[in-house]
């Protein structure tokens, strides 16, 4: 068995959406099924969610249930992947405290993802210190499990870079106890950062431009119907643009050759469909209808499984509790290694 270990996760700030699905969840399930990983840890990052949602603890608490249901619905299997809740592992907070010494203020302020999130969020009374430091806490999450592989969306690149810097610095100053992680991005360009249905840069729970994994069939159809396409493509006969056209980006992320056999026989593949749209003579209604069929096919079984799991919430929390216990044992071992390396193991 390989030495490869996965750590990844999501913030409980709402239900999970198709951006999470193509950017990370779908791949996690594939990786889980390869059996190539010695351990897989999937973290619900509630402590991180509280860095910008500290005034809304109810939302974070409720979203734990939603995210855990979404996990099981897409096929994450607690027998193969340890699913746990960040705040229940105090070792992670302790590691963060020590790692903070290894990062300069200028370095945290330079993080481009954090910068753009600060702009989006309109922090009224100023940016919480905890928020600018969340990449450091994320480094603790990753290193606590000695993760080698972190499958995430593109917005997480700066976080991985930060984690690697902390590992190198720690190992150099103290002892080489930490493992440098690699990011694992989706191999499909469209999946790296799926745009919102409004055409905005990123589908994001906080922006309200999402198609959720739990949306009803009617809601999905309606969201697809009113999706952003190409504002210059007014009449069907007008030539259209496929770049920056959300419907085509989603098709890039979801469409497979067999979908043409099933739902749009006049075309062989996506390139043909795109060529027709660019030339003119292909209307938005038709491409949206095609996208809707594909999404319904993909999301239907997920929605059904989710409804089944939602019938037994106590079992869901029992699963999470077990996951927390397993995760804490691993994090405690790392923390003990860290404290020894830092010479703060006085009573050992
Ligand atoms: P929030 O607005 O609260 O930050 P979010 O929608 O950005 O929520 P996160 O929980 O921050 O979701 O991200 C979870 C994972 O999903 C990360 O790996 C992130 O890179 C990935 N991800 C989030 N949004 C997208 C997206 N639109 N396309 C691809 N991957 C995404
Ligand atoms: Mg995010």
Strands 149-151 and 82-85: unpaired
Q: Which range marks the domain in which residue 84 is found?
A: 5-194+313-341
Between 52-56, 152-156, 163-167, 281-285, the lowest mean confidence (pLDDT) is in: 152-156
Structurally, how many domains does the chain consist of?
Answer: 2
Ligand 1: distance of its center to the CA of 269 in Å?
29
Q: Count other C-beta atoms under 10 Å from residue 213's C-beta.
A: 24
CA of 165 to the centre of ligand 2 (A): 21
Closest-lying ligand 1 atom to the alpha carbon of residue 49: 3
**Predicted local distance difference test score (pLDDT) of residue 206:** 73
Say whether pLDDT at 1 is over 70: no
> Residues lining ligand 1, judged by CB closer than 6 Å?
10-11, 13, 19-20, 23-24, 152-153, 155-156, 193-194, 202-206
Do 184 and 241 reside in the same domain of the chain?
A: no
Tell whether 122 and 148 lie within a shared domain. Answer: yes
Q: Are 70 and 306 in contact (CB under 8 A)?
A: yes
* Same structural domain, 124 and 264: no
Q: Determine the pLDDT at residue 344.
A: 98
Q: What percentage of the chain exceeds 70 in pLDDT?
A: 100
The CATH number that applies at residue 67 is 3.40.50.620
Work out the angle between the directed axes of helices 46-53 and 57-74 (0-180°, nearest 10): 140
pLDDT of residue 153: 87
Beta bridge partners of 43: 9, 84
Residues 189 and 261 in one domain: no
Shared domain check, 52 and 72: yes
Ligand 1 center to residue 183 CA distance, Å? 15
Q: Measured between alpha carbons, how far is 244 from 330 in angstroms, rounded to an integer? A: 44
The pLDDT tens digits of the residues spanning 34-49 come to 999 999 999 999 999 9
How far does residue 222's CA lie from ligand 1's centre (Å)?
Answer: 23
Residue 201 covered by a domain: no
Q: Find the ligand nearest to 67 CA.
A: 1
Residue nearest to atom 7 of ligand 1 (CA): 204
Give me ligand 2 centre to Cα 330, in Å: 26
Q: What is the pLDDT of residues 105-127, one digit of tens each?
A: 999 999 999 999 999 888 888 99
Of ligand 1's listed atoms, the one at least distance from the Cα of 191 is 29
187/240 same-domain check:
no
Residues 57 and 141 in one domain: yes
Going from the C-alpha of 265 to that of each of 147, 257, 260, 261, 299, the distances in angstroms are 45, 11, 5, 5, 22
Instruction: Assess if residue 200 is contained within a domain.
Output: no
Are the beta carbons of 102 and 166 closer than 8 angstroms? yes
Q: Is residue 205 part of a domain?
A: no
Is residue 348 situated within a structural domain?
no
8 A C-beta contact, residue 20 and residue 164: no
Determine the Cα–Cα distance for residues 138 and 48; give it in Å rounded to an integer: 8
Residue 202 falls within a domain, yes or no?
no
Q: Clarify whether residues 168 and 233 are in a common domain.
A: no
DSSP assigned state of 194: P
**Ligand 1 atom at shortest distance from the alpha carbon of 10:** 10
Residues 298 and 176 in one domain: no
**136-150, 201-215, 305-319: the lowest-pLDDT one:** 201-215
Kindly report the number of other CB atoms within 10 A of residue 83's CB atom: 25
For the ranges 24-28, 38-42, 141-145, the lowest mean pLDDT is seen at: 24-28
Specify the ligand 1 atom closest to the Cα of 12: 10
Do 183 and 8 form a contact (C-beta atoms < 8 A)? Answer: no
State the Cα–Cα distance between residues 88 and 323, nearest whole angstrom: 10
Model confidence at 176, pLDDT cuts 50, 70, 90, reads very high
Please report where in the chains the tokens 């000695």 appear, as a residue.
146
Q: What is the pairing mode between strands 149-151 and 182-184? A: parallel
With the most atoms of ligand 1 within 8 angstroms of its CB, the residue from 204, 213, 254 to mutate is 204
Residues 6 or more apart whose Cβ sits within 8 Å of residue 231: none
Q: Does any domain span residue 64?
A: yes
- Whole-model pTM: value is 0.94
Atom of ligand 1 nearest to the CA of 204: 6
Res. 135 pLDDT band, cuts 50 70 90: very high
150 beta partners: 183
Q: CB burial class (10 A; 0-12, 13-18, 19+) of residue 247?
A: buried
Asked whether residue 54 falls in the same domain as residue 189, the answer is yes
From 114, 119, 131, 153, give the residue whose CB has the most ligand 1 atoms within 8 Å, as the site to mutate. 153
| DSSP string across 129-149 | HHHHTHHHHHHHHHHHTT-SE
In a shared domain, residues 134 and 234: no
Question: What is the C-alpha separation between 8 and 44, in angstroms, rounded?
Answer: 9
Q: Could you tell me if residue 105 is inside a domain?
A: yes
Q: pLDDT digits over 275-295, tens only?
A: 999 999 999 999 999 999 999
Mean pLDDT, to the nearest integer, of 84-101?
98
186: CA distance to ligand 2 center in Å? 16
Same domain, 174 and 226: no
CATH assignment at residue 277: 1.10.240.10
Q: Using an 8 Å Cβ cutoff, are 13 and 60 in contact?
A: yes
Minimum mean pLDDT range among 79-88, 181-190, 248-257: 181-190
Is residue 336 in some structural domain?
Answer: yes
């Amino acid at each position: 068995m390989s030495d490869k270990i996965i750590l990844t996760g999501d913030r409980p700030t709402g239900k999970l959406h198709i951006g999470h699905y193509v950017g990370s969840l779908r791949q996690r399930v594939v990786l889980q099924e390869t059996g190539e990983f010695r351990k897989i840890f999937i973290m619900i990052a509630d402590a991180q969610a509280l860095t910008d949602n500290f005034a809304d603890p109810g939302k974070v608490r409720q979203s734990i249930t939603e995210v855990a249901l979404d996990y099981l619905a897409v096929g994450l299997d607690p027998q193969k992947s340890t699913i746990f809740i960040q705040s229940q592992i105090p070792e992670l907070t302790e590691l963060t405290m020590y790692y903070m010494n290894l990062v300069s203020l200028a370095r945290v302020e330079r993080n481009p993802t954090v910068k753009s999130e600060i702009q989006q969020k309109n922090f009224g009374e100023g940016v919480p210190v905890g928020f600018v430091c969340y990449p450091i806490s994320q480094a603790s999450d990753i290193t606590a499990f000695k993760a080698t592989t972190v499958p995430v969306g593109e917005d997480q690149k700066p976080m991985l870079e930060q984690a690697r810097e902390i590992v190198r610095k720690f190992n150099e100053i103290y002892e080489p106890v930490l493992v440098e992680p690699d990011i694992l991005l989706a191999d499909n360009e469209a999946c790296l950062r799926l745009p919102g249905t409004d055409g905005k840069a990123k589908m994001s729970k906080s922006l309200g431009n999402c198609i959720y994994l739990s949306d009803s069939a009617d809601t999905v159809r309606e969201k697809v119907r009113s999706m952003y396409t190409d504002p210059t493509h007014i009449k069907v006969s007008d030539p259209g643009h496929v770049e920056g056209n959300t419907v085509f980006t989603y098709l890039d992320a979801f469409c497979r050759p067999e979908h043409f056999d099933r739902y749009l026989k006049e075309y062989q593949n996506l390139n043909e469909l795109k060529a027709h749209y660019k030339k003119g003579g292909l209307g938005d209604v038709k491409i949206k209808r095609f996208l809707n069929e594909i999404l319904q096919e993909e999301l239907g079984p997920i929605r059904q499984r989710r409804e089944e799991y939602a019938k037994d919430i106590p079992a869901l929390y029992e699963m999470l509790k077990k996951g927390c216990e397993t995760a804490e044992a691993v994090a405690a071992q790392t923390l003990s290694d860290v404290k020894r390396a830092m010479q703060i193991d006085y009573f050992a």
